[in-house]
Amino acid sequence: MTYAEFEWLSSDGIRMFGCEWKPAEGRPVKAVIGIVHGMGEHTGRYRHMANMFTSEGYAVLSFDQRGHGRSGGRRGDCPNYEALLEGVDFLLAEMKRRHPRTPAFLYAHSMGGNVTLNYLLRRKPKLCGAVVAGPWLKLAASRPPMAILARRIVERLAPGTTKLRYLIAERSTSDPDMIRRNAEDPYRHGKVTARFFYLVQRAGLWALAHARELSVPLLLLHGGDDRITSINASRLFAERALHKCAFYEWPGFRHELHNETGRQEVFGVVLHWLNGQLGDGGKQANDRWHE
């Protein structure tokens, strides 16, 4: 596997960090995957996934969302939801530039799943498909009405107010080694502003309301023991998206399926689905992507 880094400037001048993993030199690339990470994390947490994908002949590109990892911007904040979609715009453009005439997919997790589902529904990119795991459509725990009211007041009066939402590693995975890595990760953070929180929350509800408009093949995954994002919301999205969406539930698995003890089983399903899209059924989508 080879590794390279790149940067770009957002439309409002924020420096953004991106990277690419490719199969070993000389090995052909059968498809390219763009990874969109979740809240409080960064591209480096997907290196083991990139290793898995590149060993199967896939190239992988990813980027640190603004306010995350090595990208600029205030931690856990963004000016508007369009700024999150813009990151995916650039990712897809870079995938196309580096791998012309190559089938393209997205892979997303949690808040990145929220952004990716909204991107698929609003931008309608001509991709071969997307894999979304544990998306933030709704949170798993409902909040008391007074707490919701208080946060909305804060959003109106002081949208940049930051609250530490501590990322409890044990809620994300049951793998002791991954829990340790999470705790020691200097780029991982639990900060979110009221503005950011409600931008993403509203976008999740919008995606649920427009799920029937999905035009890209989707593999939707969710852990049965996810205590962070709502599996019921994922089920509802899949039900509304009908034949465009294949839904897999993983009983006993927590929020980060790619970091769970049984992640090899998850990877097997993901690879099987991706390879299936690259058959005859994926050719037309690939042709549209490169029109």
The mean pLDDT of 172-178, rounded to a whole number, is 86
Specify the pLDDT at position 25.
83
Task: Give the lowest-confidence range in 109-113, 143-147, 264-268.
Answer: 143-147
- Name the pLDDT band for 231 (thresholds 50, 70, 90): very high
Q: Where are the domains of the chain?
A: 2-289
Specify the pLDDT at position 183.
82
Using CA atoms in the order 193, 197, 203, 206, what is the torsion angle rounded to 10 degrees?
-140
- Name the pLDDT band for 166 (thresholds 50, 70, 90): very low
Q: Could you tell me if 135 and 117 are in contact, meaning their C-beta atoms sit under 8 angstroms apart? A: yes
Q: Is the dihedral of CA 273, 275, 276, 277 positive or negative?
A: positive
**Could you tell me the strand order of the sheet in which 104-109 lies?**
2-9, 15-22, 58-63, 31-36, 104-109, 129-133, 218-223, 245-250
In the chain, what percentage of residues exceed pLDDT 90?
75
Say which CATH superfamily domain 2-289 falls into. Alpha/Beta hydrolase fold, catalytic domain (3.40.50.1820)
What is the longest distance spanned by two Cα atoms in the chain? Answer: 60
SS3 content of the chain, % helix, strand, coil (to 5): 45, 20, 35
User: Within 10 Å of residue 168's Cβ, how many Cβ atoms?
Assistant: 12
How far is 274 from 276, CA to CA, in rounded Å? 5
Paired tokens of 4: 């390279």
Q: What is the mean pLDDT of the chain?
A: 89
How far is 261 from 76, CA to CA, in rounded Å? 28
Size of the chain in residues: 291
One DSSP character per residue, 192-203 reads EEHHHHHHHHHH
User: In degrees rounded to 5, what are phi and psi of residue 41?
Assistant: -120, -160
pLDDT digits (tens, 9 = 90+) for 204-228: 999 999 999 999 999 999 999 999 9
DSSP state of 242: G
User: Within 10 Å of residue 181's Cβ, how many Cβ atoms?
Assistant: 17
- Name the pLDDT band for 189 (thresholds 50, 70, 90): confident
